[in-house]
Each structure stands twice: as structure tokens, then as C-alpha cells.
């Protein structure tokens, strides 16, 4: 039984499913945009629809830390139970309706993000360009998807702050919405990918980037445990993506990962956010309100000489960087599949 499990790790079948799922989330996301305004994985949105209102009612910052930690543990358990039920249903569907092998990547795609992120950021870029040219103004619809995805109140900041949040979204959605689900799928199949997705969704909903006074502590620690290895891989791929991004610096990005200055804490984007900030030579992060009105005193991330007054051109670079990161990841999966073919020949 254990030998059979080992044989499926990084198997050609799973690698093929990853390639198809990546194409699905990239193309469908770009064509349809985010579901419910949320560019995170589809399963995150489903869990938020089920549990989001309960999370809002449960969080009371006047409660003690111990009380909020207990409530956070109960909510995390609820997320995991619902995710387990969804994963079981997904397995039944996959076994009953194989669709010539396409059902597995389709179900995997529900745990991933991609094109929806680019759709949201391109929409913001067009709005900013229109406002600059006097053709239109930055309206709620232009940044609503970014606000929902990052759980940030963008009415509390200026255009530079909105762009910083948008650029940071490139790092976090690539890390938590692409690399991590793929990593766990290659190791444990759909159950592992869904389990991680449920934990990550709970962390996104509860932790407030580590500023939730205890209610998100357990979810954040659990996601950190399962997400640390994919997180390192994400940062490396984002650094490599800078090699093919105009005016971005791959060497600068790698140096930034080991710099003593401008590092993002794991809860606020970590190495992935750090890699993007240093690659583009901009300052990301900074204080912002979340959608519940809480002030999130995020750290400033980026080179010591960088400016927080990021512009539309930096947003364009970030979009390109995010797309190239997915391309690099796709190439690596293809090379892994080719290695399997070569070794099996």
C-alpha cells in the first residue's frame, strides 16, 4: 500500500492533470473574471459563502485573546469539516464521471487561481490609465475585486496604496492559489490539495494578516506548517520570473530574499511578497484597513532606496511578472513530465 502511494507522488498522471488545470484556471479566469468578485481559488469563495457571515459575527475584538483563540479553533474545525465533505464528494464525482481523464484536473482547478487575478489587475490598470487621461475615474467596480480578494478596504487609501495592494495580490495568489495546491496535489492527490485549500481559506478569512488578536492564530500556524515548502518554491519561481520581466531584476530579487531590510512576515506575504517587491524595486505593504474596519499595520517591504509611491507602470510590470511566474511553473512541470517519459522509456 505504501509503495503504491509513493509511486503516485509526482506521477505522470498527476503531472498531466496539473498542466491541464493550469491552462483551465488561466484561460477561464481571464474570460470570466473572479467568481463573486473573489480572485482567490473557487473553493475559497464557496467556503466564504458558507462560513463568512459566521466569521464576521464571531469576531469581537473586545473579547479576550483566549476567548478569540477558542472561537478561531472552532471556526477552523468547521472549515476543515466542510472541506472534507467537499473533498469526499469530489472523489466520488471523479470516480463516477472520469470525462476521459478531464474530471481530475477540473476538480483540481477548483483549488487554484490564475487568470482571475490577471483579469482583476488589468481592469484596475485600465481604470488608472483612463483616469490619468481624463477619460474615466477610478470607480468602485474598478477595484472591488481586489478589495474582496485581499480583504482590504481600499477606500481608506490613495491610488498608490491601491496599486501596492494589487501588486501584493500577485505574490499571494501565486503562492497560496497556484503553487501550494499543486505541491500538495502532486504529493497526496485531490484530498491533499483540498485539505490545504480549506486550511488556506480559513487562514485568509480569520487571520487578518496576523492582526486578528487571536482568532486566526491557529489557522495561520496550521497554514504555515503546510505552506512553508510551497512558499519557498513560490519565491524562487517569482525571482526567476523577473528574468523575463522588463525592467525587473532577478538578481535583486534573490538578494532581497536574504536581505535584513524590507522583509515581509509570513502572515503578510512572506518571501513571495519580498521577492516581488525587490524584483520591481518598489515598497509594498504599509498600513491599511481590512474590510471589517480593523487597521492592519503591515510592514514595509522592499529595497531600502525604494519608494512607496508606486505607479501604474509598476502594476503593469507586476501583472507581467505574475504571468511569467505561471509560465515558468508550467515549464518546470513539462520538464518533470519529460523526465518521467525519458526514464520510463
Which among 128, 126, 200 is positioned nearest to 159, based on CA atoms?
Answer: 128
* 306 located within any domain: yes
* 8 located within any domain: no
* 3 located within any domain: no
CA distances from 310 to 142, 158, 181, 316, 336 (A): 18, 11, 30, 11, 37
Question: What CA–CA distance (Å, rounded) separates 90 from 107?
Answer: 7
Q: What confidence tens digit (pLDDT) does each residue in 146-169 have?
A: 999 999 988 888 888 999 999 999
Rounded to the nearest integer, the mean pLDDT of the chain is: 90
What's the domain count of the chain?
Answer: 1
* 4 located within any domain: no
* 2 located within any domain: no
Q: What confidence tens digit (pLDDT) does each residue in 272-303 have?
A: 999 999 999 999 998 898 888 888 899 999 99
45 contacts 36 by C-beta, under 8 angstroms: yes
* 9 located within any domain: no
pLDDT reading at 344 higher than 70: no
Question: What CA–CA distance (Å, rounded) separates 195 from 14?
Answer: 17
Q: What confidence tens digit (pLDDT) does each residue in 119-141 have?
A: 999 999 888 876 655 555 455 56
Q: What confidence tens digit (pLDDT) does each residue in 204-224 have?
A: 999 999 888 889 999 999 999
* 222 located within any domain: yes
Q: Which domain holds residue 130?
A: 16-344
* 5 located within any domain: no
Which among 218, 117, 241, 228 is positioned nearest to 169, based on CA atoms?
Answer: 117
Amino acid at each position: 500500500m505504501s509503495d503504491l502511494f509513493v509511486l503516485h507522488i509526482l506521477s505522470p498522471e498527476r503531472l498531466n492533470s496539473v498542466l491541464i488545470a493550469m491552462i483551465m484556471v488561466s484561460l477561464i479566469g481571464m474570460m470570466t473574471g473572479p467568481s463573486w468578485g473573489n480572485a482567490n481559488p473557487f473553493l475559497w469563495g464557496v467556503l466564504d459563502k458558507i462560513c463568512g457571515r459566521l466569521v464576521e459575527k464571531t469576531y469581537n475584538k473586545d473579547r479576550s485573546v483566549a476567548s478569540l483563540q477558542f472561537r478561531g479553533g472552532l471556526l477552523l474545525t468547521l472549515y476543515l469539516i466542510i472541506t472534507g465533505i467537499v473533498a469526499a464528494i469530489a472523489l466520488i464525482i471523479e470516480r463516477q464521471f472520469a470525462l476521459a481523464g478531464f474530471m481530475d484536473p477540473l476538480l483540481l482547478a477548483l483549488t487554484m487561481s490564475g487568470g482571475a487575478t490577471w483579469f482583476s489587475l488589468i481592469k484596475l490598470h485600465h481604470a488608472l490609465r483612463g483616469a490619468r487621461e481624463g477619460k474615466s475615474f477610478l470607480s468602485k467596480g474598478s477595484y472591488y475585486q481586489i478589495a474582496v480578494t485581499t480583504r482590504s478596504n481600499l477606500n481608506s487609501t490613495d491610488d498608490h496604496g491601491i496599486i501596492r495592494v494589487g501588486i501584493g495580490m500577485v505574490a499571494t495568489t501565486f503562492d497560496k492559489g497556484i503553487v501550494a495546491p499543486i505541491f500538495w496535489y502532486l504529493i497526496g492527490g485531490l484530498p491533499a490539495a483540498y485539505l490545504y485549500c480549506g486550511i488556506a481559506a480559513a487562514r485568509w478569512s480569520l487571520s487578518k494578516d496576523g492582526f486578528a488578536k487571536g482568532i486566526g492564530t491557529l489557522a495561520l500556524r496550521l497554514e504555515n506548517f503546510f505552506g512553508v515548502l510551497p512558499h519557498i518554491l513560490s519565491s524562487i519561481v517569482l525571482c526567476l520570473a523577473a528574468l523575463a520581466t522588463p525592467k525587473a531584476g532577478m538578481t535583486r530579487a534573490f538578494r532581497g530574499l536574504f536581505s535584513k531590510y524590507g522583509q515581509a512576515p509570513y502572515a503578510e506575504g512572506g518571501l513571495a511578497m519580498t521577492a516581488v517587491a525587490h524584483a520591481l524595486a518598489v515598497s509594498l505593504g504599509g498600513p491599511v484597513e481590512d474590510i471589517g474596519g480593523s487597521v492592519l499595520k503591515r510592514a514595509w517591504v522592499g529595497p531600502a532606496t525604494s519608494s512607496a509611491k508606486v505607479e501604474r507602470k509598476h502594476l503593469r510590470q507586476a501583472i507581467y511578472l505574475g504571468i511569467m511566474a505561471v509560465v515558468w511553473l508550467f515549464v518546470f512541470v513539462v520538464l518533470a513530465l519529460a523526465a518521467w517519459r525519458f526514464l520510463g522509456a
